[in-house]
Amino acid sequence: MHNRLFIFDLDGTLLNTIGDLAVGCDYMLSLRGLKTHTYEEYCSFVGNGIMRLVERALPEELRTEDYIKAARKDFVDYYIDHIDAHTVPYDGMVDLVYTLQRRGAKLAVASNKFQAGTEKLIKKFFPEIDWVEICGNREGVPLKPDTALVDMILDKAGVERQGCVMIGDSGVDIQTAHNAGITSVGVSWGFRSREELEENGANHIADNADELLHILENI
């Protein structure tokens, strides 16, 4: 695996973060006297960064640029202090990542979550992993499915595209891999459906961490 680079999405792939994202949105909405949402609704809101999450949580008539920015600030101020209250790794994913590192693979994270939040969670739950890069949403860098994050990681890792694999739970991740010309592996335990992964053309789909390891070992 020494010539392999595995790029992981964060939310819905490595970590189940939906509880804390939902609580953060509920807090932001409650400050404004607005209706909160269900678990299923929040699952459909995530995947395109915090700004889009906040925008989707707001009533359509309030989705002005200034209102969304103010709501995002309230969300982030609360969320960054409570980011790991309910968040947990998915079953087997900590062991999987450590196994890949022991076997010599290069590892990275490419998330649409804001950079500070991405780093805080990765450092808490995967403290001994020597990541090539931990990429979250950075000012001036386009979100997935743009290939900017993948391109940055590839440049730093020094790995050819044919040796790179993107692992994620949503169509956005699969589209990112396709746009970047790399292999995609969808995981069905995240926030989006298996059908979404299939419709977006995932090269492989894993239903649990053991299946994912088997796929990555044999790509």
Tokens standing for residue 153: 């990681």
Domain stops at, among 61, 79, 97: 79
Tokens standing for residue 10: 């964060």
Strands 5-8 and 106-114: parallel
pLDDT value at position 51? Answer: 94
For residue 16, the cross-strand partners are 88
Residues 49 and 156 in one domain: no
CA dihedral 126, 131, 133, 136 (to 10 degrees): -10
Residues 133 and 202 in one domain: yes
Q: How confident is the model over 98-124, as pLDDT tens digits?
A: 999 999 999 999 999 999 999 999 999
Cα distance between the two ends of the chain: 10
Question: Residues of the chain with pLDDT > 70: what percent?
Answer: 100
Residues 35 and 93 in one domain: no
Residues 96 and 179 in one domain: yes
Alpha carbon separation from 17 to 83, 121, 176 (Å, rounded):
8, 10, 21
177/182 Cα distance (integer angstroms): 5
Helix or strand holding residue 185 (H, E)? strand 183-187
Domain stops at, among 79, 106, 126: 79
pLDDT value at position 2? Answer: 78
Q: How confident is the model over 152-206, as pLDDT tens digits?
A: 999 999 999 999 999 999 999 999 999 999 999 999 999 999 999 999 999 999 9
Residue 24 belongs to domain spanning: 18-79
For residue 106, the cross-strand partners are 5
Instruction: Tell me the pLDDT band of 217, cut-offs 50, 70 and 90.
Output: very high
Instruction: Look at phi and psi of residue 108 and say left if phi exceeds 0, alpha if psi is from -120 to 50, else beta.
Output: beta
Alpha carbon separation from 215 to 132, 147, 219 (Å, rounded):
21, 23, 6
**Mean pLDDT within 83-97:** 98
Residues 22 and 98 in one domain: no
Question: Residues of the chain with pLDDT > 90: what percent?
Answer: 97
Residues 169 and 202 in one domain: yes
- pLDDT of 65 strictly over 80: yes
Domain stops at, among 62, 79, 96: 79
- What CATH number does residue 178 fall under? 3.40.50.1000
Residues 105 and 30 in one domain: no
- Type of residue numbered 6: F
Tokens standing for residue 111: 């998330």
**Mean pLDDT within 128-148:** 96
pLDDT value at position 40? Answer: 94
pLDDT value at position 1? Answer: 77
Q: How confident is the model over 14-25, as pLDDT tens digits?
A: 999 999 999 999
Residues 100 and 195 in one domain: yes
Which residue blocks in 46-170 are alpha helix, DSSP H?
50-57, 65-79, 93-102, 115-125, 148-157
pTM above 0.75, yes or no: yes
